[in-house]
Amino acid sequence: MKRFWLSLRTRGGLMLAGTVAVLGAVVLHLLSATSADVPTFAQGLPQLLLAGLVVVLLLMLLTGYQLLMLRRRLKQRVFGSRLTLRLVLLFSLVAVLPGALVYGVSVQFLARAVDTWFDVRVEKALDGGLALGRNVLDSMLKDLRGKADTMALLVSDRAPRQQLALLNMLREQAAVQEVALLDVNGTVLVFSGDEQSGLMPEPLSPSVLRELRMQKAYSGIMAQPSGGLLLRVAVPVSALGGELVALELVQRVPDQVSRNAEAVQFAHAEYQELAFSRSGLKQLYALTLTLALLLALFAALLLAIFFSQRLSAPLGVLAEGTRAVAQGDFSQRTPVRSYDEIGILTQSFNAMTRELAESQGETQRYQTQLESAKASLESILATLSAGVISLDGERRLRSVNPSASRILEIDLTTLVDVPVGRWSERDARLAALAAPLAAALAGPLEDDWQGQIAYAGSQRGLTLLARASTIRQAAPGGFVIVFDDITDLLNAQRQAAWGEVARRLAHEIKNPLTPIQLSAERLQQRLRHKLDTTDAEMLVRLTQTIINQVAALKGMVDAFSEYARTPETQLKPVDLSQLTREVLGLYEPIGPRMNLKLQPGLPSVLGDAVKLRQVIHNLLRNAEDAVGTVSEPRIILSIGADPTGGIALSVSDNGPGFPSDVIGRAFEPYVTTKPKGTGLGLAIVHKIVEEHHGRTRLENLAPSGARVTVILPPASAAAQVTSPSHRAANS
Amino acid sequence: MFAAFAMSVVALLWQISGPADAGEPAINVRSAELTASNDGYYLDASFEIDLGHTLEEALTKGVALNFVLDFSLIYERWYLLNLWNKTVANFEQRYRLTYNSLTRQYRIAAGTLTQNVDSLREALVVMGGVRNRFIVSRDEVDPEKPYTAELRLRLDTSQLPKPFQLDALGSKGWNLSSDWYRWTVRP
């Protein structure tokens, strides 16, 4: 749009300049035409000069305006304006120098040429010619005068009545055109004329008549308006009555003579006029030339500016296009107007822009694909439960997925770009993972590396299975490490193994126990009566010991097999508070004091009431055992909402607490601190809680004591979690 | 160059508007009057024409001199300045004065009428005299009102050949004109 207006304005300006220049040319033409065939409106020289001046002023203003615009563009550093300036200067030089030269030469030449026109010999020849003409006419006049005198003598002694016939005859004889007799006032008395003359002779002027009255003859030449010369002679005649009359003779000068004489006269007059106007002529020519020079100069300047702009305009457009391309806009197409080199340049620029736009589109498409692929990969990694981290060739952390941070309970994203060897500086726990990794990745990895790592979680110890492999694609040789929390898996495996072992052992041990017991009882019954009292007493005591120990052994094996062969858990909504009260009812009267802290309005949990009762029972018994040696035993049982959303049941005591070497694996079977414990109490608790999808937590209290917490999911949440598997199990 | 040109033009224009000096060519109105007759009004006027040295020389060198006689009869209204002045009658008479060096005669041409005279003095008298020129008929003027008549005879320099026009721009010898001669006519 802007370009369109600009072009329109330049076009309009050019048209204006053209009109003004044409006007100037017309004025110049009129000025230089000195002949008479100039239209009447252009006669006035001052008006013409003024018109020329106005035209020159207009051109000057236009040129000045254009130069001002050019200067403004130069100041604004419009692309192409410097080229325009150079072109303008060049064109101006090309136009002005020859113009000025031609002007100077012309002025000089004209001044000399005008002077050389006026030659003394020509002047003399013309003067001579004129004099010759005059002489011829004079001699003809003299001749006519002689005829007039003769006629006057003849006429003077005739009566007026006879005069017409006489005059006719004399006219014929003398071969003159008109003969007339006039009185001294100019009134025609008698007139005789040939076929060419009019009815009456032309009247004599008062001065001639005055001369005639004074008896003086008149002779003169008349130029006829229709061309041709007439000789006229008037002589005084004394008529018969003494009255003074005048005889007038008119004779036509022969055409040949008069034509020649008039030609000489015309040339002479023209020459005289030219000679007389010499200085004016020179001035006029100089003025006209000056005007022409100024017109040509400013017109050339205007043209120079116009053409320079036209030449440099495509460059400006190209520059604009280049800027647009630099800013990433490939949509601009520069219109091709000319078919010269600039046009070709514009075309190739357009082709380049098109190709750029296409390749950029390609790149963008490719990038979009890449991004979507990356996004899908990231979402896969995010939903993956396993932790995935990648390292670059320098063993620096490059990327990490959310599961990795969750498993390790450390925000690994803060470790990006930190080499593996220095991870432990951030968090000492990471050393467990970083040290074997750093060792495994010290050199190039031939095969995949795999290792189990014991990691200290905030709630429990974790066992991680980590696998590192080289990223084949990446040039510097990066690594990807996948690790998973296999703690639960390991636990389950271990417990399954223990269960198997326990069942077999129980079976193997239990089998011989019954015969041993029966044999001991039989031995007692059979021999008691046959022995004396002391021996019998001893027998009874020993056999009883055997029986008791076998029974104890049986109990132990039963407990053992119970742990291994737990019945199917049946989950139903259970009010944990109610259940706890029931269990506490059994303990109330005996043993140490127990405090119950219940948070009111708790939701029920999903669980097996029998098993949960055993959990509470086991926990309470543990606590009771723990405080056996304490002077002021105190056991607190509290049930409340856990921050994680479950319901927490915790039993705390003020006993000695767990030894540090046990606390990590107190939930494992056969780990015990009690002199006569099976080591299965907490293991059973842990197992039952896991069957309920709950968690167990163990901690020592300050200054002494321990707390075991069981967190069970509420009935609503657990129902959602377990119902699918439950249904599957039922069906 | 251009500045010089412009300045010369300005100077020429200045000279044109400058006051006339004595001893230069001049035309003076000797007499002028409107005379009433039965059918209307007639103009009689006589001018004293002095061509001056330059113009006389030009004439004898063959330059044709064109004279213009302007006359108008105006009813002057007192209101609205003079914009609404009513011109009752006006005419413009052109004369062409030439010299024939062969016959040594001067010719005065007024329209189609020509008159040859032998001397310049005579020619100027002929040209400077207006006799019984009909101006306006009686019923076109209101006898109750005063009218203004104005008269002028001048040399028409625009009819001169251009070199002389250029000379005329610079010199008073070429500018010949009577002042407007005005008089009040009461019919």
Q: What percent of chain A has pLDDT over 70?
A: 90
What's residue A727's pLDDT?
Answer: 39
**A345 token code pair:** 């340049």
Q: Which of B94, B103, B119 to mutate to test the interface with A (most CBs of A within 10 A)?
A: B103
The predicted pLDDT at position A370 comes to 93
Among partner residues A225, A278, A290, which is closest to B5 by beta-carbon distance?
A290
Q: What sign does the CA torsion over A559, A560, A565, A571 have?
A: positive
B47 neighbors B159 (Cβ within 8 angstroms):
no
pLDDT at A718: 45
> How many interface pairs between A and B have CB atoms less than 8 angstroms apart?
109
pLDDT at A450 over 60: yes
The C-alpha of B99 sits at a distance from chain A's nearest C-alpha, in angstroms, of: 9
Q: Please state at what angle helix A681-691 crosses helix A533-564, rounded to 10 degrees.
A: 30
Strands (DSSP E) contained in A471-560 are 479-485
In a domain, A134, yes or no: no
Find, in chain B, the residue whose alpha carbon is nearest to that of A52. B6
DSSP string, chain B: -HHHHHHHHHHHHHHHHSPPPTTS-EEEEEEEEEEE-SSEEEEEEEEEEE-HHHHHHHHHTT--EEEEEEEEEEE--SSSTTTTPEEEEEEEEEEEEEEETTTTEEEEEETTEEEEESSHHHHHHHHTEEEEEEEEEGGGS-TTS-EEEEEEEEE-GGGS-HHHHHHHHH-GGG--BPPPEEEEE--
Contact assignment for B61 to A276 by CB distance below 8 Å: yes
A61-74: per-residue pLDDT in tens? 988 988 898 899 88
- Give the rounded percent of residues in chain B with a pLDDT score beyond 90: 7
- Using DSSP, state whether A714 is helix, strand or coil: strand
| CA nearest to B6 within chain A | A53
pTM for the full predicted model = 0.53
Mean model confidence pLDDT for chain A: 80
Compare CB distances from A207 to B103, B122, B159 and report the shortest one's residue: B122
Nearest to A261 among B57, B102, B167 (CB): B102
Q: Does A347 fall in a domain? A: no
Q: Mutating which of A262, A277, A293 best tests the B interface, going by the most B Cβ atoms within 10 A? A: A277
Among A544, A564, A584, give the residue marking a domain's end.
Answer: A564
Report whether pLDDT(A41) > 60.
no
In the beta sheet, which residues pair with residue B66?
A: B96
d(CA A678, CA B72): 155
Q: Is A133 in contact with B102 (Cβ distance < 8 A)?
A: yes
Domain end residue (candidates: A537, A564, A591)? A564
C-alpha span between B19 and B83 (Å, rounded): 27
The per-residue pLDDT for range A664-702, each reduced to its tens digit, is 777 777 777 776 666 777 888 888 888 888 888 888 888
Tokens of A24: 């100037």
Contact B161 A273 (CB under 8 A): yes
Q: Do A222 and B103 touch (CB under 8 A)?
A: yes
Beta bridge partners of B133: B43
- Say whether both A592 and A478 belong to one domain: no
A228 is in which domain, residue-wise? Answer: 139-268
**B103 to A220: CB separation less than 8 angstroms, yes or no:** yes
Closest chain A C-alpha to B178 CA, distance in angstroms: 20
| Cross-chain Cβ contact A283/B2 below 8 Å | no
Note whether residue A362 is domain-resident: no
Q: Give me A311's structure tokens.
A: 């030449």
Query: Six-digit token pair at A51?
Result: 């018109």
Q: How far is A135 from chain B (nearest CA, A)?
A: 10
Q: Is the pLDDT of residue A390 over 80?
A: yes
- pLDDT at position B20 is 43
Beta bridge partners of A697: A709
d(CA A526, CA B126): 203
Q: Tell me what pLDDT residue A644 has.
A: 78
Average pLDDT over residues A316-344: 78
Chain B segment 83-102 residues within 8 A of A by beta carbon are 100-102
Q: Which is more confident, B77 or A327?
A: A327
Closest CA to A159 of A235, A237, A244, A240: A240
Euclidean distance between CA atoms A253 and B158, whole angstroms: 36
Are the beta carbons of A283 and B166 separated by less than 8 Å?
yes
Which region, left, alpha or beta, applies to residue A228 given φ > 0 means left and ψ of -120 to 50 means alpha? left
- In sequence order, which residues have a C-beta less than 8 Å from that of residue A567 and are 6 or more positions away? none
pLDDT at A386 over 50: yes
Amino acid at A210: R
A20 Cβ contact list (under 8 Å, min separation 6): A55, A58, A59, A62
With an 8 Å Cβ cutoff, are B12 and A262 in contact? no
What is the rounded CA–CA span in Å between residue B53 and residue B49? 12
Contact B165/A at CB under 8 A: yes
Among chain B residues, CA nearest to A232:
B103
Same domain, A465 and A590: no
Same domain for A11 and A46, yes or no, is yes
Same domain, A199 and A243: yes
Mean pLDDT (whole number) for A141-157? 85
d(C-alpha A64, C-alpha A491), whole Å: 99
C-alpha dihedral (A659, A663, A667, A673), degrees to nearest 10:
0
> Which of A34, A276, A293 is facing B162, going by the closest CB pair?
A34
Over the stretch A510-524, which tens digit does the pLDDT of each residue have? 888 888 888 888 888
**Residue A459 confidence (pLDDT):** 66
- Tell me which chain B residues have a C-beta less than 8 angstroms from the C-beta of A293: 1
Cα-to-chain-centroid distance, residue A156: 121
Q: Do A410 and A549 fall within a single domain?
A: no
Most confident residue range from A98-107, A363-372, A431-440, B135-144 = A363-372
* Range from A174-178, A309-313, A414-418, B113-117 carrying the lowest mean pLDDT: A309-313
Q: Read off the pLDDT band of B97 (50, 70, 90).
A: very high
Identify the helix (H) or strand (E) that includes residue A290: helix A278-326
Q: Does some domain include residue A106?
A: yes
DSSP output for A611-644: HHHHHHHHHHHHHHHHTTT-SS--EEEEEEE-TT
Cα separation, A265 vs A134, in Å, equals 10
Is the pLDDT at A651 greater than 80? The verdict is: yes
pLDDT of A502:
76
CA angle B101-B102-B106, nearest 5°?
A: 50
The C-alpha of B19 sits at a distance from chain A's nearest C-alpha, in angstroms, of 19
What's the pLDDT tens digit per position in B27-75?
A: 888 888 888 888 888 899 999 988 888 888 888 888 889 999 999 888 8
Q: Looking at the domain assignment, is residue A352 inside a domain?
A: no
In chain A, residues with a C-beta closer than 8 Å to the C-beta of B114 are: 225
CA–CA dist A696, A688 (Å, integer): 10
Q: Which residues of A touch B118 (CB under 8 A)?
A: 205, 207, 220
3-state DSSP call for residue A461? Answer: strand
ipTM of the complex: 0.73
Structural domain contains residue A378:
no
In this complex, the residue of B12, B57, B103 whose CB is nearest that of residue A276 is B57
How many other C-beta atoms lie within 10 A of the C-beta of residue A649? 26
Residue B26 forms beta bridges with which residues? B50
Q: Which pLDDT value is given to residue A723? A: 40
Q: Are residues A579 and A718 in the same domain?
A: yes
Q: Are residues A716 and A603 in contact, defined by beta-carbon separation less than 8 angstroms?
A: yes
Enumerate residues 6+ apart whose C-beta is below 8 A from A288: A28, A31, A32
> Which pair of tokens denotes residue A11?
């076009």
Label residue A476 by pLDDT band (50, 70, 90).
low
Over residues A204-211, the mean pLDDT reads: 80
pLDDT at A367: 94
Mean pLDDT computed over every residue of chain B: 79
pLDDT of residue A155 exceeding 70, the answer is yes
Q: Which of A45, A207, A272 sits opposite B62 (nearest CB)?
A: A272
Cα–Cα–Cα angle for A639, A644, A648, rounded to 5 degrees? 15
A283–B163 C-beta distance less than 8 A: yes
Say if A584 falls within a structural domain: yes
**Which residues of chain A have a CB within 8 Å of the CB of B122?**
205, 207
Percent of chain A with pLDDT over 90: 3
Query: Are A145 and A288 in the same domain?
Result: no
How far apart are the C-alpha atoms of B142 and B76, rounded to whole Å?
A: 13
Q: How far apart are CA A638 and CA A652, in angstroms?
A: 8
Distance from CA of A105 to the nearest CA of B (A): 15
Taking residues A635-659, what's their average pLDDT? 85
First to last CA, chain A: 79
CA pair distance B60, A273, nearest whole angstrom: 9
User: Is A363 within a domain?
Assistant: no
How many domains does the structure of chain A reveal?
Answer: 5
Residue in chain A closest to B171 (alpha carbons) equals A280
Q: Cβ contacts (< 8 Å) between A221 and chain B: which residues?
A: 102-103, 105
pLDDT tens for each residue of A13-34 = 677 777 877 887 887 777 766 5
Yes or no, beta carbons of B166 and A280 under 8 Å apart = yes
**What are the chain B neighbours of A275 within 8 Å (beta carbons)?**
61
pLDDT(A403) > 70? yes
Q: How far apart are CA A129 and CA A416, in angstroms?
A: 123
A185 pLDDT higher than 70: yes
Residue A309 has pLDDT above 70, yes or no: yes
List C-alpha distances in Å: B154 to A510, A541, B25, B51: 166, 182, 11, 11
Structure confidence at residue B84 (pLDDT): 62
DSSP states of A204-266: PPHHHHHHHHTT--EEEEEE-TTS-EEEEEEEEEE-TTS-EEEEEEEEEPPHHHHHHHHHHHH
Q: Decide if pLDDT at B19 tops 50.
A: no
Q: What residues of B are in contact with residue A268 (Cβ under 8 Å)? A: 62, 101
Say if CB A503 and CB A481 are below 8 A apart: no
Q: Give CA separation, A269 vs A129, B98, B100, B101, B173, in Å.
A: 12, 11, 8, 7, 21
For A102-116, give one letter per residue: b (16+ CB within 10 A) or e: ebeebbeebeeebee
Same-domain pairing of A79 and A36: yes
Q: Say whether A280 and B164 touch across the interface (CB within 8 A).
A: yes
pLDDT band at A565 (very low <50, low <70, confident <90, very high): low
Q: Which of A139, A138, A140, A166 is nearest to A152 (CA)?
A: A166
Cis peptide, bond prior to residue A314, ω within 30 of zero: no
* Chain B residues near residue A294 by CB distance under 8 angstroms: 1-2, 5
Chain-chain contact of A284 with B118 (C-beta, under 8 angstroms):
no
Distance spanning both ends of chain B, measured CA to CA: 59
At residue A365, the pLDDT reads 94
* DSSP 8-state secondary structure symbol assigned to residue A453: E
Tell me which of B5, B54, B102, B116 to substitute to probe the interface with A (most A C-beta atoms closer than 10 Å).
B102
Higher pLDDT, A42 or A135: A135
Q: Which residues pair with A233 in a beta bridge?
A: A219, A249
A609 with A690, same domain: the answer is yes
